[in-house]
């Protein structure tokens, strides 16, 4: 579980990175932690909703990566170390309920609303604005804990709200899958009730198998009636490759 001290340090880093203005992702490899001799690494990704795609499509959402020198980099290929504790931070400037999750109509279920593959099975959410963020879908219940700026809450899943005409409180997902489609990591970014987005998500995980894997957002947020064209099918926007070595 992430310590309070570590979380506050991450928030400080987020504030600095946020000054860049538009979204990007920050990748920084850290040497072994002196107290535990465990290798660690950090990856910060930023989602921005209005990046120009082309003249016919207009704008689309995208994940970006910020390199150590502060330059924006494509998320088409993300390199991560194996057998290493990775701290992932997602700063999401988007925000909306998702009526559908998954790659097609038959995949509209709770799978991609759940936190999968992280240490402790949780993620920590900051700067949200909902009173029902800490729901557990298995119990279909809510702890009614309000998210306030600067305070993070351990979340194992995002709830469905609004009845039949509502949606999952998931803005985007960062999902790593094997070549066979097995979900190795699923991080749902809180959509919530903040119309301008601004949610920060922090979590930790390990990738203990080397090789090339896919990453994909499973909220249909691209172009066309299905939402699966444009950014959703273009490397460096809402999908790409994760190389683990």
84, two tokens: 């290493």
Distance CA 143, CA 14 (A): 27
pLDDT of residue 5 exceeding 90: no
On the CB side of 143, CA atoms within 13 Å amount to: 14
Query: Each residue of 185-217: b (16+ CB within 10 Å) or e?
Result: bbbbbbbbbbeebbbbbbbbbbbeeeeebbbbb
**H/E element, 13:** helix 4-18
pLDDT of residue 9 exceeding 90: no
Q: pLDDT-derived band of residue 105, with 50, 70 and 90 as boundaries?
A: low
More confident call, 236 vs 36: 236
- CA-atom Rg of the chain in angstroms: 17
Mean pLDDT of the chain: 78
Whether the CB-CB separation of 97 and 120 falls below 8 Å is answered with no
Q: pLDDT-derived band of residue 197, with 50, 70 and 90 as boundaries?
A: low
pLDDT tens-digit map of 25-71: 323 333 333 345 679 999 999 999 999 999 999 999 999 987 878 78
Distance CA 86, CA 170 (A): 22
What's the topology of domain 4-244? Immunoglobulin-like (2.60.40)
Q: Which residues contact 173 (CB under 8 A, 6 or more apart)?
A: 101, 112, 186, 187, 188, 189, 216, 217, 218, 219
More confident call, 84 vs 152: 84
pLDDT tens-digit map of 117-150: 999 999 988 865 444 444 433 333 343 444 444 5
Low-confidence winner among 93-107, 126-140, 148-162, 216-230 (lowest mean pLDDT): 126-140
Share of the chain above pLDDT 70, in %: 71
pLDDT of residue 158 exceeding 80: yes
Q: What is the pLDDT of residue 103?
A: 85
């Amino acid at each position: 579980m992430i310590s309070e001290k570590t979380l506050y340090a991450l928030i400080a880093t987020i504030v600095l990175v946020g000054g860049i203005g538009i979204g990007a992702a920050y990748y920084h490899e850290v040497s072994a932690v002196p107290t535990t001799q465990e290798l660690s690494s950090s990856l910060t990704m930023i989602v921005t909703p209005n990046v120009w795609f082309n003249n016919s499509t207009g704008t689309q959402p995208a994940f970006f990566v910020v390199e150590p020198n502060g330059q924006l980099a494509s998320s088409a290929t993300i390199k991560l170390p194996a057998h290493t504790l990775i701290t992932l931070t997602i700063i999401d400037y988007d925000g909306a309920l998702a009526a559908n999750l998954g790659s097609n109509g038959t995949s509209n279920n709770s799978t991609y609303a759940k936190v999968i593959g992280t240490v402790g099975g949780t993620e920590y959410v900051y700067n949200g604005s909902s009173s029902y963020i800490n729901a557990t879908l298995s119990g279909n219940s809510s702890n009614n804990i309000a998210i306030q700026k600067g305070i993070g809450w351990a979340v194992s899943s995002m709830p469905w709200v609004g009845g039949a005409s509502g949606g999952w409180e998931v803005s985007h997902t960062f999902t790593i899958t094997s070549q066979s489609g097995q979900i190795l990591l699923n991080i749902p970014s809180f959509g919530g009730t903040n119309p301008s987005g601004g949610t920060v998500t922090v979590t930790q995980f390990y990738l203990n198998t080397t090789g090339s894997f896919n990453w994909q957002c499973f909220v249909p947020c691209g172009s066309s009636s299905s939402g699966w064209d444009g950014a959703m099918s273009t490397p460096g926007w809402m999908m790409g490759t994760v190389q683990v070595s």
